[in-house]
């Protein structure tokens, strides 16, 4: 399903210009990253994302994705340190292609955050060692190699001005597919107590609190990863790299002070896959824009 009827160059530029003014809900974020600020309290969250079948370019081939998301964050009373565990499980169901892997892909990471707050300023240092591999490799530690390990990090500063909050820093992760160290910058403006606009890179978001229990948001962010994969016999190994952008609308209901439930509708755009086939050929293919739905639960404790 195509989301743009204009020629590809015009479609891509329209996405670059328009999408940065739109929000990606944390419940729908399927990439492992510590670039964003951690939650303000201890919590556990789970999410599910399903996207419709996408046609690969060049043909032949299609893929259909599902993502399962799980996070735990522990924040002691001091508030300066927080740490946790996160897991991302993706299934990439390819048709008319025979990947070297079964495309059941896992990323487990262990974030640690240190926050120092001053007068109208704050500084955060975050690190997260990670394992990222197909299911057959994750279950056999003796098969781990350098491609299995990842190192995610962020150094972030925040300054408050009259009516504005400026954030800037650097991040390192696989949200753009290949490992990349990139700048993070944004400005947060709250023109009304119910409206918050956070314009920046790599994430941009706009949120609106409808009432005490209900809030809504729309936005855009990159989504990608890099996995160490192997065939069933564990004799052939390679890397599977994915990159894309997600625009997502989310509705969140605070059912209780501790419990939040969210649902979302969005689209995955400008997707690219780099993978090795069973015959040893290394290919790079794109995918048409497709719709996706998401759901999430969050429990604060």
Q: How far apart are CA 125 and CA 75, in angstroms?
A: 15
Contact 89, 73 (CB under 8 A): no
Task: Return the higher-pLDDT residue of 147 and 26.
Answer: 147
Burial class (CB in 10 A: 0-12, 13-18, 19+), 244: buried
Q: What is the dihedral of CA 286, 289, 295, 300, to 10 degrees?
A: 70
pLDDT band at 163 (very low <50, low <70, confident <90, very high): confident
C-alpha radius of gyration, the chain, whole number: 19
Give the CA diameter of the chain: 61
Q: E-assigned strands of the chain?
A: 43-51, 54-57, 62-74, 81-95, 104-109, 112-117, 121-134, 149-161, 164-173, 180-192, 195-201, 204-209, 214-230, 237-254, 259-276, 282-287, 290-300
Mean pLDDT of the 166-185 span: 97
Query: What pLDDT score was predicted for residue 161?
Result: 86
User: Which residue in the block uniquely carries the two structure tokens 């893929």?
Assistant: 63
| Number of other CB atoms surrounding residue 171 within 10 Å | 21
Q: What is the pTM of this model?
A: 0.87
Sign, CA torsion 233/135/151/294: positive
Contact 65, 103 (CB under 8 A): no
Q: How far apart are CA 64 and CA 53, in angstroms?
A: 4
Q: Checking DSSP bridges between strand 195-201 and strand 204-209, what pairing results, if any?
A: antiparallel
* Residue pLDDT, tens place only, 208-225: 999 999 999 999 999 999
* Residue pLDDT, tens place only, 35-66: 999 999 999 999 999 999 999 999 889 999 99
In the chain, alpha helices (H): 8-18, 135-138
Mean pLDDT of the 233-250 span: 95
* Residue pLDDT, tens place only, 95-108: 998 999 888 999 99
Query: What pLDDT score was predicted for residue 29?
Result: 72
* Residue pLDDT, tens place only, 9-32: 334 333 333 333 333 334 447 899
DSSP conformation class of 39 = P
Domains of the chain, residue spans: 8-300
List C-alpha distances in Å: 268 to 46, 52, 201, 217. Answer: 20, 10, 18, 17
Query: What pLDDT score was predicted for residue 8?
Result: 41
* Residue pLDDT, tens place only, 268-300: 999 999 999 999 999 999 999 999 999 999 999
> 8-300 in CATH: which number?
2.40.160.40
């Amino acid at each position: 399903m195509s989301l743009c009827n204009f020629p590809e160059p015009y479609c891509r530029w329209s996405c670059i210009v328009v999408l940065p003014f739109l929000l990606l809900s944390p419940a729908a974020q399927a990439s492992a990253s510590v670039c964003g600020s951690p939650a303000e309290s201890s919590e556990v969250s789970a999410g599910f994302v399903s996207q419709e079948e996408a046609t690969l370019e060049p043909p032949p081939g299609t893929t259909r994705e599902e993502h399962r998301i799980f996070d735990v964050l522990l924040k002691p009373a001091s508030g300066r340190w927080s740490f946790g565990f996160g897991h991302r499980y993706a299934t990439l169901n390819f048709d008319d292609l025979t990947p070297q892997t079964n495309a059941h892909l896992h990323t487990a990471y262990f974030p640690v955050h240190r926050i120092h707050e001053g007068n109208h300023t704050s500084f955060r240092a975050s690190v997260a060692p990670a394992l990222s591999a197909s299911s057959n490799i994750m279950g056999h530690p003796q098969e781990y190699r350098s491609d299995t390990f990842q190192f995610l990090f962020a150094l972030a500063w925040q300054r408050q001005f009259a009516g504005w909050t400026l954030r800037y820093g650097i991040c390192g992760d696989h949200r753009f597919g290949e490992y990349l160290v990139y700048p993070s910058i944004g400005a947060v403006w709250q023109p009304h107590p119910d409206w918050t606009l956070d314009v920046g890179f790599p994430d941009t978001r706009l949120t609106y609190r409808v009432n005490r229990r209900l809030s809504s948001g729309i936005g855009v962010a990159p989504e990608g990863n890099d996995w160490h994969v192997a065939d069933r016999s564990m004799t052939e190994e390679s890397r599977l790299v994915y990159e894309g952008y997600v625009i997502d609308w989310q509705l969140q209901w605070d059912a209780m002070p501790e419990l939040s439930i969210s649902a979302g509708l969005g689209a995955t755009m400008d997707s690219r896959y780099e993978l090795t086939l069973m015959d040893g050929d290394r290919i790079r293919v794109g995918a048409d824009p497709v719709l996706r739905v998401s759901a999430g639960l969050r429990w604060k404790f």
